[in-house]
Structures are given as C-alpha cells and as structure tokens.
Structure 1
Amino acid sequence: MHREHDDPRTLRRSGGDSATPVPADLAASPFRVDRDRVASSPFFARLGGVTQVVSSAGSGLLVHNRLTHSLKVAQAARAIAERLGSRPELVGVLDKLGGCDPDVVEAASLAHDLGHPPFGHLGEQVLDRLARHRFGLSDGFEGNAQSFRIVTTTDVRGPAALGLDLTVAVRAAMLKYPWTRLSYPQPHPRELAAPPRGAAEPPDAPGTGSAKFSAYVTELDDLTQAREFYAGRLEPWQQTVEASVMDTADDIAYAIHDLEDFHRVGVLQHATVSAELNTWLDHAIELASLSAVDLAAQARRPGRSLEALRRRLHAKDSWAVDDDAFAQAVAKVRAELVDGLLSVPFDGSVEAEQAVAAFSARWTRRLVDSVGVVEEPTTRSGHVVLAVRQWHEVQVLKFVHRRFVLLRPDLALHQRGQARLLTALVEALEQWVTDRHEADRLPRRLHDLVELAGAEYASLARTDPAALVGATGETPSGPDAVQGLARGRAVVDFIASLTDNQAAALLDALSGRTGQLWTDAFVL
C-alpha cells in the first residue's frame, strides 16, 4: 500500500518524515501542513499592510492589498486544480508531468507574494536597483526570489527556525521562474531562441541577467532539491504543473481585481475606456495599416494603444495570438466592463457593491472554467493554459489596467515619493549597520539577518566565488568585501519584511522627524 512518506514529493529540506508532522502542526496531510505553516507565518500576516497598487486607506469596503490578493489567487488556483483533477482524460497526463494536488497549489498560492516589499512592484524595482548598484549583490532583489528565501531561509517559525521546511512539491510550485538571475540552470533559459516569460534580460539593462527569477544564489540548494523529482519529466526551465496553476490563477486575479479596485475609487473612467475600445473596434483595419512611426506619434489618441498591444502580442506571443480572437475579446470587455460595470459610477450603495461582486464572480468563473492542460507547450507558456478566447480577454483586461491606471501621472507622483522613501531608508539602515559604535544597539532582527547572510556569503566565497560577481564584474575578495555583501542582503531582507506604514514610520524615526519614542508601527 502506498504511504505518504514514500512519496518523494512530500520530502522536506530537513529530511524529516512528512508523514509524521511535528507537534505544532495540526493537519495530517503534509501539503495541508505546508498550507497551515504559510498561513500562520508573520510574513503572510504582514501582506495585509502591503500595497497592491494603491493604499486602501479611505477607499470604502475593500481595495485589495497583497493579503486579499493572495487569498483570491489561492481560491482560484484550488478551483483550477480540482477541475483539472476531475477530468478522467487528464489523470495520466498530470501524473506523468509530476502531479497536480489542490493542497499544493493552495499552499504555493498563499506563499507566492510573501517576498513583496513595501509599496508593491515599485518597491521591488527600487530595492533591486539598490541591491545591485549600492551593495554589489549580483542577483539584486526580486519578489519571487524573496518569497522563496523567506520559506526556505529567513522565516523563523518553522520547526528548526530556518525557513518553514516545506515539502518538495510546494517549494517547486512556488518557482514561477525556476532559475536564478544569471547562472542556473546551464544553459541558462535567457539564452534560448524564444526565452520563457521573464527569462529574457531587460532591454534597457543588458548583461544583468533575467528580468524575473525565483531564487537567489543563496537558495540554489533549495531550488535544485525541490526540482530533483521533476528531472526527466520537465525541462529544467519549465514550471511544474502546480506552479503553472498558481501562475494562471495569479493572472486571473490580477486581471479582474485591480479593475474592481479602480472602479471603486473612481479612477477608472467610463468615457476614456469606452473611447479606446470603441475607436479600435470601429477602425481596426485603418489602425492596422498605420506604420509603427505613425502609431507611436499618435499614441495619445483613442484606439492607438490597443493597436500597439495587438502588435506587441504578435511579436512576443505569436504562438497564441489570433486577430479574430483579439477582436472578440475587445468586444467582450466592452460589453462587460464598459457597457456594464463602468456605465454606472460607483457610489458605495448596495446596488454598486453587488454590481462589482457580480462582475468579479462572472469573470472569475469564466476564466477558471476555461483552463486546460497542454502536454508539450511552447517555451513561452506553462502546461496549464487558458483557452484561446479567454487568454485574449485577459490580455485586454490587463491592458485596461495598465493604460488607464498604471500610466497615470498622479500615480507616478505618488510612487516617486515612495521610491525616495525606500532609498532613504536603505541608506539610513546601511549607516546604522556599519556604525561600530552602535553595534550593540542594532535591532535584533537586523543583527540576526546580518549573521545569517554573513554565513551564507562566506560559504559561497569558498565554494562558488563566481556566484558573487556583482554589477562591476569583479569578484569580491577578502572578508570585508564578503561582509559588505552580507550587510547589504540583510538590509534588503529587513526592509522587504516591513509593511508600508512600518517603512514610513521607521524612516521618520531614523530621520528625527518624530518625537514619539515608542511606536506600534514597528518592533525593534
């Protein structure tokens, strides 16, 4: 009879027997244990204070933060996994590819955003720049890699006070981009003719490695152990099926819930969205005939941005894009979003709340129900995919969010202030960490992180010094240089574990802008 502890997917980093949970665990299933460990983590709780796109303060019943986003991703991911598992024709395929367990995808979905720093993606970009250029850390900062570092290394609530000691399957399912920035695996996926999503280098930063990746060099052992079971089943750069489910659910949640939020706070305006979609639908042939130069010159006129999206999809995802499906998707979004949800301004009434809820539920079910499995996908796709029509609809929904929310000057103004705040906080904490006269009064958490990173980088300097080559192309030499890397990683780890309010309050205190000696915004 098959026993759970014979299943290699249930192995933990510690080598412990997953079939015999430690006393603190309540569940019997190892994957449910993982789900509970993530949900009980203080890193998970802090997501309630981390921005998704804008702060939820003063915006009515709900604007999504990273916590509510993670819960909705987990909800959609579990539903997808259960639907796929109930289809008899997929049972053999899923088993051949390594499995698709609803508990695994739920645990990975809850954990996927643990590493998001204060102020969301803006914070991610700022910390990456500072990590690489100020501290010389070769793999900088990346939210997915930080999530993996938390569950394997910096979270202390696990049985051994070193990460959460999750199973192979759940750790592998967290690896949306199963490679490091520069060096693993070899050949590196950024060198493929058609690199997987996220693996290519940013066009404005050649030589820096992949734009997205799911593990730092310090967690390479955890990545390779988590992926060992899938060798021979998947290419080294391919997501597991469970990671692909999580990734798809993340796309669904992002496409729908951010639109809800900005309708709720009055940012997403009916007239401008309507003009963009209707102009493209009425003049699609004419817009398709414009040269690239003319299209760019007319970028601010309605319909042009949507035409630019259609061309970008052809350039990047020619395997999936279809002009008829694209046109149908634009018409569908116009009918449901423009003529439906946005046609009546949100006023906080019962009717308005029900309209938002109905829009969200209808779209979530439509997209979740359309998910299928491809046994041999293109390098640009995982094994779990949306149907052609729904894939195009998600691209159009995400376009509306980007075009009419993310590119707004007032949001940019707000985010530039957040970027300055994080930059100043990094500088202030670096000064504190390097002040030998204040070494005894360093926050204990930051002190512990410096010690942890010091051991990691000293080990890498002995065993794999090439992994420490920074933005200058030079290998750090000597204990001072290695300790400098450790201090930089510790400062980044510390700041990435703060909420938005904690980051602001900590900088106020470090800048002498507050007379309050004790604050509940942070604990030192």
Structure 2
Amino acid sequence: MAEHDRAGRRDPGPAPGDLAATPFRGDRDRLVASPFFARLGGVTQVVTAGGSGLLHNRLTHSLKVAQVARAIAERLAADPDVAPLLADLGGCDPDVVEAAAVAHDLGHPPFGHLGEQVLDRLARHRFGLPDGFEGNAQSFRIVTTTDTRGPKAAGLDLTAAVRAAVLKYPWTRLTHPDPHPRTMADPPRGAAEPPESPGTGSAKFSAYVTELDDLLDCRAPFAGRIADWQQTVESSVMDNADDIAYAIHDLEDFHRIGVLQHAPVSAELSRWERGRAEFAQLSDTELAADRRRPGRSLEALRRRLHLRDGWMVDDDAFAAAVTRVREDLVDALLAVPFDGSVAAEQAFGAFSTGWTRRLVAGVHVLADPPTRSGHVLLACDQWHEVQVLKFVHRRFVLLRPDLALHQRGQARLLTSLVEALDQWLADPYEADRLPRRLFDLVELAHDEYSELAKDHPETLVGPRGEREVSVPALARGRAVIDFVASLTDGQTVSLLDALSGRESRFWSDALVL
C-alpha cells in the first residue's frame, strides 16, 4: 500500500502549518500539542498522585506506551523476514504507531477506569445514549471531532493510517460491523458483552455512532487486507505496548509508595508453586469457598485463562511465568523496601529495563491469528508473564478495600457533577450563562444526532429495541458527557465545589477543552 494511500491524502507531503517533514510525524506533533494530551497530566492512572510526582498519570503512561510501541515497530520493520507480511497487512510505520500510542488515552475521563464506568452508566441510563461512554471511543471522538486544532477546526485532520491505528476495538457498541463481532462464536477481545450486563452491547469499542463515518473512512484503505473487526498491524503494536507498559510501571508505582508489600505477594505466588498439583484437584466450589487463602486466587486466574484464552494458555508456561515473576519481582524488587536511595532507584531501573526488553523481544507477527488476538502478539512465555504481572496488580492493588473506599467517593462526585450540569442546561433562565465550551458541545451534538435521526435512525436504537428519537435530549446528554470527560481530576472536584456553593472564590479555571 503506498504511503499516500494509507495517509488518505493525494499529496504525501506535510499539511500547511506542520513542522514535520512527513504527514505521520505531523500527526504525532499535532497530538502532542493538543490540550487534550496536556490534560492527561492531571488524570488518574490508578489513584490520584496528589502532586507527589511518584505515581504515573495518564500522560506519563502515554509517553511510556509511545516509547515501547515505537521500539516494537522499529524492530518489526527492520526484520526482512516479516516485511512482506507487514506490507500485505497494510504496513507498520513507527511514526504511525507512535502517534496512535500518544492518542490512545486521550478520552480517559477523570479518575481513570472508575470514571469510565460511571460516565457509561450515566450516559445510558440518565441520557438514553445507546452507545453510552467508552474511553477508547472518546479518544477517537476527540481526534476526529471535538478537538479543534486541525486545519478544518473539527478534529485534528489526522491521516487515515493514524486514525485506524487508534481503533483498538474497530467496531461500535451495537451496530457496526454487521454481523457484529460480539455475535461471533469466539468474539475478539473486548467484543463480548459484559457478563454482568447482558444485552448492553460490546464491553469495549472504539467508535460511537456519531463517528461511524470516520471509522469507515480510515478503515477503507485496509479493506481486503484484514477483517473488518481486526486491528490494523499498527493498532496491534500499540495495544501490545499498552499492555507491556501497564504490566510493569503500575507495580513499580505501588511498591514505591509502600502499597505493594512483599509478604502477601510472596505468600500467594510461593504457595501456588508448592501446591500446584493440590490446587488443580480442587473443585471450583472448593476453590471459591476460601478464596483469600494464599495460592487460590492465582489458581483461579489459571482456570479463567483456560476458559477465555485456550488458544494460548499452557500450564507449564504459566508455572514458569509465576516462578519468573516471583524471582524478579518478589524476591528481588519487593524484598527491599523502597527508601528513595540510589540503590533503590537502580533496582527500579533494572527491573523496568529488563522486563521491558524481555517483553518487547517476545513480540512477533502472525498471518492468521486467532480471533482473540491481533496480528501482532506476544510469544507464549511472555504472554503468560504479562498475565501474572497484571494479576499481582489487580489482586494486591485494585482489590484493596481502601482503594474501593476512595473510588466510591469519586463515583458519587462524578455523578453529582453530571446531574448539576444537566440541571443547568435545562434551566431556561441560565442558558445564556453556560460555559461557552459546553454550549458549543451541545450545538455540535445536536447537529450530529439530527443528521443520524434523518439518515440513519437505526443507529439510535438501544440494545433491546428501544428507540430514542429526542434529538435535544441526546445532544444534551452527549454534550454533558463530553464536557465532564474533558476535565482533569482537580477540575472535576473544583467545578463541583463551585456548583454546590462550597467554593467561595470565583471559578477561574477556564474550561476551554
């Protein structure tokens, strides 16, 4: 595929105003200059950093993903054995991959994944938006629609290749493509409906119905090369880089601040290693009966992997991964409490560098991957290691009661802010005093839903056949969700304080995103 075809431009040179010499580098530069990218410095990765500088936020996470993604892409592009396959699949340009990595978290709302869940629930139940809210779809909406820094003042006017690479889950929640990937016998990762919410559509998706034309446009150059539900190679590289960065740096964060403790992690991994055969004999009921005893949660993970990823899981590789993680993370890094010393920082550096190098080296390309994977994937050993690293993070950080307490408060805060803004929009006496950005978002969404109601009313049908035809209601809901999703953690707290009368000072933080 020629570069100008993948770029979606007749002229492969830079757009007017771009400093970079190629369109893909120009895309990367526009993304880095976007205020939506800058705001990620104030958005939670897992817990709010509180200005300490010790924890990753969405900005530092995105920079690490971009670094890892470019390293993978450059290694693949330099391999003559895979070059023909990459060309057949649509190409693997390091600049495209890096740009997609920079963009991949733009849509994350305040308070990380917790905020994503809250806004999705409010979007669907309060505002009747059939496709709700999803961070990946919000990222695509930003780069194609709500950012205004591109030459056309609607989105960033990115090349087709970069837009396609942002689509980690290249389908809408409910309607596209047809047949929808959630109906497949073995759905792609993210495409299945959440087991706790049947009938709501895919758990993960990368485009709302309002951006369906952009999805179709940027995917057109890849028609006949990959299935309509598959990631492009460049998106697959970005996805793997995201997994690698997440698996490593969140563990470092929570060891650094003393949350990830040696004793419980050591007990879990060591007990499973010693009693591997014993645990395998337990029934699911017996395993769940006392699931907090060491070793049982890890055995539950092994069984879930067999159910979900039978195409890859291997018990011997799983056991080897547990041993490697125990040796490198538990016996080496966590065995010495972090004290800020040079030795402690060097231990962090060695752990991060060694694991990143190992995981990147395990990335390879398949011509015909299983539906649960993209064309770019980790080798068997490294795939299992990532699963175990992510397990440690989930079991010993995300499931902590003190984090749950913190997040319940954040959920109430976000809900209250959405309700307050919705009430403000509905007040005819205050309509002319809305924040200008919110007013603009309402107008934008009204135009979008008016066009959909006229030309594609089927996209406004909910998962159970309910039809929402109130364009003003849909527009108001999408605008409020867009507005709140564009705030930082701190702006969210301060704005609710102002709207609740708890803040005596004038609101001075301009809401211009």
TM-score range (shorter-chain normalised) is over 0.9
- 1:335 positional shift: 0.3
Counterparts of 1:513 and 1:473, CA distance in 2 = 43
Aligned to 1:11: 8
- 1:23 positional shift: 3.1
Counterparts of 1:418 and 1:183, CA distance in 2 = 32
Q: Does 1:206 align with 2:198?
A: yes
> 290-299 or 512-521: which moved more?
512-521
Counterparts of 1:161 and 1:316, CA distance in 2 = 43
Q: Describe how 1:89-100 pairs up with structure 2 within 5 A.
A: 89-100=81-92
Is the Cα–Cα contact under 8 Å of residues 44 and 57 in structure 2 kept in the other structure?
A: yes
- 1:206 positional shift: 1.1
Q: With the length of structure 2 as denominator, give the TM-score of the two structures.
A: 0.98
Q: Over aligned residues, Cα RMSD in angstroms?
A: 1.3
Per-residue CA deviation, residues 64-99 of structure 1 (Å, 9 max, x unaligned), is: 000000000000000000001111110100000000
Aligned to 1:57: 50
Per-residue CA deviation, residues 449-501 of structure 1 (Å, 9 max, x unaligned), is: 00000000000000111211236743233xxx111100000000000000000
> 497-506 or 463-472: which moved more?
463-472
Q: With the length of structure 1 as denominator, give the TM-score of the two structures.
A: 0.96
1:29 counterpart (8, 22, 26): 22
- 1:356 positional shift: 1.0
AA matched with 1:47: L
Is the Cα–Cα contact under 8 Å of residues 133 and 471 in structure 1 kept in the other structure?
A: no
Instruction: State the secondary structure of the residue aligned to 1:187.
Output: coil
Counterparts of 1:56 and 1:75, CA distance in 2 = 22
Aligned to 2:301: 309
Q: Does 1:174 align with 2:163?
A: no
Aligned to 2:494: 505
Q: Does 1:464 align with 2:456?
A: yes
2:413 counterpart (418, 421, 446): 421
Long gaps (5+) in structure 1: none
Q: Does 1:40 align with 2:46?
A: no
- 1:18 positional shift: 4.6
Counterparts of 1:384 and 1:472, CA distance in 2 = 35
Q: Summarize the Cα distance change of 1:115–1:18 in structure 2 as closer, same or farther, 3 Å threshold.
A: farther
Is the Cα–Cα contact under 8 Å of residues 84 and 90 in structure 1 kept in the other structure?
A: yes
Counterparts of 2:301 and 2:14, CA distance in 1 = 49
AA matched with 1:49: G
Instruction: State the secondary structure of the residue aligned to 2:225.
Output: coil
Is the Cα–Cα contact under 8 Å of residues 136 and 472 in structure 1 kept in the other structure?
A: no
Aligned to 1:117: 109
Aligned to 1:475: 467
- 1:20 positional shift: 4.0
AA matched with 1:223: L
Q: Does 1:264 align with 2:256?
A: yes
Is the Cα–Cα contact under 8 Å of residues 437 and 511 in structure 2 kept in the other structure?
A: no
Is the Cα–Cα contact under 8 Å of residues 97 and 241 in structure 1 kept in the other structure?
A: yes
Counterparts of 2:267 and 2:42, CA distance in 1 = 35
- 1:22 positional shift: 3.4
Q: Describe how 1:446-461 pairs up with structure 2 within 5 A.
A: 446-461=438-453
Counterparts of 2:493 and 2:84, CA distance in 1 = 52
Aligned to 1:366: 358
Counterparts of 1:29 and 1:292, CA distance in 2 = 56
Instruction: State the secondary structure of the residue aligned to 1:385.
Output: strand
AA matched with 2:487: L
Aligned to 1:231: 223
Counterparts of 2:465 and 2:376, CA distance in 1 = 38
Is the Cα–Cα contact under 8 Å of residues 201 and 463 in structure 2 kept in the other structure?
A: no
Counterparts of 1:437 and 1:31, CA distance in 2 = 47
Per-residue CA deviation, residues 174-230 of structure 1 (Å, 9 max, x unaligned), is: 110000000000110000000000000011111110000000000000001111111
Counterparts of 2:192 and 2:49, CA distance in 1 = 34
Q: Does 1:320 align with 2:312?
A: yes
Is the Cα–Cα contact under 8 Å of residues 505 and 521 in structure 1 kept in the other structure?
A: no
Q: Describe how 1:61-76 pairs up with structure 2 within 5 A.
A: 61-76=53-68
AA matched with 1:64: H
> 332-341 or 346-355: which moved more?
346-355
Counterparts of 1:455 and 1:235, CA distance in 2 = 32
Long gaps (5+) in structure 2: none
- 1:126 positional shift: 0.1
Per-residue CA deviation, residues 270-304 of structure 1 (Å, 9 max, x unaligned), is: 00000000000000000000000000002010000
Aligned to 2:153: 161
2:481 counterpart (488, 492, 503): 492
Q: Runs of 4+ in structure 1 displaced over 6 angstroms?
A: none
Aligned to 2:181: 189
Q: Summarize the Cα distance change of 1:159–1:391 in structure 2 as closer, same or farther, 3 Å threshold.
A: same
Counterparts of 1:102 and 1:476, CA distance in 2 = 42
AA matched with 1:517: F
- 1:520 positional shift: 3.5
- 1:19 positional shift: 2.7
- 1:253 positional shift: 0.4
- 1:233 positional shift: 0.7
AA matched with 2:20: A
Counterparts of 2:388 and 2:333, CA distance in 1 = 16
Aligned to 1:440: 432
Q: Describe how 1:337-348 pairs up with structure 2 within 5 A.
A: 337-348=329-340
1:141 counterpart (133, 136, 145): 133
- 1:369 positional shift: 1.1
Instruction: State the secondary structure of the residue aligned to 1:470.
Output: coil
Q: Summarize the Cα distance change of 1:523–1:187 in structure 2 as closer, same or farther, 3 Å threshold.
A: closer
Counterparts of 2:384 and 2:210, CA distance in 1 = 38
Per-residue CA deviation, residues 408-448 of structure 1 (Å, 9 max, x unaligned), is: 00000000000000000000000111111111111110000
Instruction: State the secondary structure of the residue aligned to 2:475.
Output: helix
Q: Does 1:101 align with 2:90?
A: no
Counterparts of 1:448 and 1:58, CA distance in 2 = 32
Is the Cα–Cα contact under 8 Å of residues 42 and 57 in structure 2 kept in the other structure?
A: yes
- 1:521 positional shift: 7.2
- 1:24 positional shift: 1.9
Aligned to 1:132: 124
Is the Cα–Cα contact under 8 Å of residues 73 and 253 in structure 1 kept in the other structure?
A: yes
Is the Cα–Cα contact under 8 Å of residues 454 and 486 in structure 1 kept in the other structure?
A: yes
AA matched with 1:139: D
Is the Cα–Cα contact under 8 Å of residues 46 and 111 in structure 2 kept in the other structure?
A: yes
Counterparts of 1:63 and 1:201, CA distance in 2 = 32
Aligned to 1:397: 389
AA matched with 1:53: V
